[in-house]
């Protein structure tokens, strides 16, 4: 690992110097347990009753895995060519299931590294997993985190949930009239008596804007996490609650590109934002249909929505990495004066991640500026 800085990352757009790019190594299957089905329910609800998804695991074809690995490596190389120092997760031994006293699961690799960690200024914050298969995912990042710790970074972790039966709140979907049989029939997990809902939360539920942080809250698990954030960071950050912008992640809903300009999936989301941000200029992404994406048939399923390609990564205020398979957005961003770096990403819906998801920006030039109250 070659680096010269402690972590420093306050925003989504200032000049990027150091980043972790996730790994697709050993991404051989999806474990379709109750926590997986709840987390992805918004995009799976139409097919969960399909017979082919009633099994415990969905094996992923070798050719798909190979193409994913190629595309992730292409992202890492594009960042290096921009002068960014790229760190990677270490390869962990995959010798079978992971287990706790309450459940067992097959692990997935540290691909979407944005989810289990958020960098808040000079602090590495490990978040509280919402899916059992991802419970020990950050072990693959610990060599990088320890080096940052030695260089003066802070390193904290939210309380790790048990993820026992009944610990996750399904109210976001229940309030929409959906019956979540897969969660109520979570027969492969034990409950923790007297525990109730736990703190469970992903870093991709936050958008950082200097000293202001947007936080998406869609259920009681997220509510507990927001309260934890306020308790531990309110001396340095202002947390703005977004009321159920999505069921969990929001980095395919809102993408700030620089102060005063953002990509917003739809104008309907503008009024969920802080008032000072509602005046920002908005790029509404060009619509695409499901025909734009691979049809996996029995080989896979779409975990992400068709808006996943607005999940772009800014190298600086004028340079953005965008999926080369979304030329309409590239054209729009170029009209706004951005230098666009096209990188291919084929299986973004199957693996529920774009370039922002696949990366954890550890060192950027920006600081704790206020973009709302200046």
Q: Is the pLDDT of residue 347 over 90?
A: yes
* pLDDT at residue 5, rounded to an integer: 85
Q: How far apart are CA 299 and CA 347, in angstroms?
A: 12
**pLDDT tens, 192-236?**
999 999 999 999 999 999 999 999 999 999 999 999 999 999 999
Range in 28-37, 51-60, 121-130, 327-336 the model is least confident about = 51-60
Q: Token match 């509280």: residue? A: 128
Task: Show the tokens assigned to 50.
Answer: 């399909």
Average pLDDT, integer, range 41-63: 79
> Domain 16-364 carries which CATH code?
3.75.10.10
Q: Is the pLDDT of residue 130 over 90?
A: yes
**pLDDT tens, 82-129?**
999 999 999 877 668 899 999 999 999 999 999 999 999 999 999 999
Q: Give the percent of the chain with pLDDT over 90.
A: 82
Average pLDDT, the chain: 93
Range in 44-53, 132-141, 354-363 the model is least confident about = 44-53
Task: Kindly report the pTM of this predicted structure.
Answer: 0.95
Parallel/antiparallel/unpaired status of strands 339-343 and 359-364: unpaired
Q: Which helix (H) or strand (E) holds 57?
A: strand 57-59
C-alpha to C-alpha distances, 129 to 132, 203, 282, nearest whole angstrom: 7, 10, 32
* pLDDT at residue 284, rounded to an integer: 97
* pLDDT at residue 1, rounded to an integer: 44
Q: Is the pLDDT of residue 174 over 70?
A: yes
Q: Token match 């595309």: residue? A: 71
**pLDDT tens, 135-155?**
999 999 999 999 999 999 999
pLDDT band at 57 (very low <50, low <70, confident <90, very high): confident
Q: How far apart are CA 29 and CA 266, in angstroms?
A: 33
């Amino acid at each position: 690992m070659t680096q010269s800085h402690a972590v420093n990352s306050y925003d989504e757009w200032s000049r990027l110097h150091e980043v972790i790019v996730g790994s697709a190594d050993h991404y051989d299957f999806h474990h379709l347990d109750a926590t997986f089905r709840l987390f992805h329910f918004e995009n799976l609800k139409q097919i969960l009753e399909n017979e082919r998804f009633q099994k415990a695991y969905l094996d992923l074809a070798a050719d798909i895995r190979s193409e994913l690995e190629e595309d992730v490596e292409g992202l890492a190389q594009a960042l290096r060519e921009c002068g960014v120092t790229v760190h990677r997760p270490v390869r962990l031994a995959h010798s079978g299931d992971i287990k706790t006293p309450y459940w067992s699961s097959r692990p997935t690799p540290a691909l979407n590294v944005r989810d289990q960690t958020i960098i808040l200024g000079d602090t590495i914050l490990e978040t509280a997993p919402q899916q059992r298969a991802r419970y020990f995912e950050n072990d693959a990042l610990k060599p990088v985190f320890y080096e940052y710790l030695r260089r003066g970074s802070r390193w904290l972790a939210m309380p790790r949930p048990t993820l026992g039966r009944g610990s996750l709140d399904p109210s976001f979907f229940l309030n929409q009239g959906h019956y979540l049989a897969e969660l109520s029939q979570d027969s492969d997990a034990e409950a923790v008596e007297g525990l109730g809902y736990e703190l469970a939360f992903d870093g991709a539920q936050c958008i950082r804007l200097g000293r202001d942080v947007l936080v998406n809250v869609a259920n009681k698990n997220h509510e507990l996490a927001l309260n934890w954030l306020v308790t531990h960071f309110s001396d340095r950050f202002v947390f703005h609650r977004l009321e159920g912008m999505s069921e969990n992640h929001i980095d395919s809903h809102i993408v700030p590109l620089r102060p005063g300009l953002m990509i917003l999936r739809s104008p309907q989301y503008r009024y969920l934002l802080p008032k000072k941000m509602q005046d920002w200029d908005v790029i509404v992404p060009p619509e695409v249909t499901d025909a734009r994406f691979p049809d996996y048939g029995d080989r896979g399923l779409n975990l992400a929505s068709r808006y996943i390609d607005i999940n772009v990564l800014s190298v600086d205020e004028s340079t953005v990495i965008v999926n080369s398979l979304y030329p309409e957005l590239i054209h729009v961003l170029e009209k706004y004066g951005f230098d666009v770096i096209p990188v291919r990403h084929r299986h973004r819906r199957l693996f529920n991640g774009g370039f922002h998801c696949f990366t954890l920006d550890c060192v950027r030039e920006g600081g704790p500026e206020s973009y709302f109250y200046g």
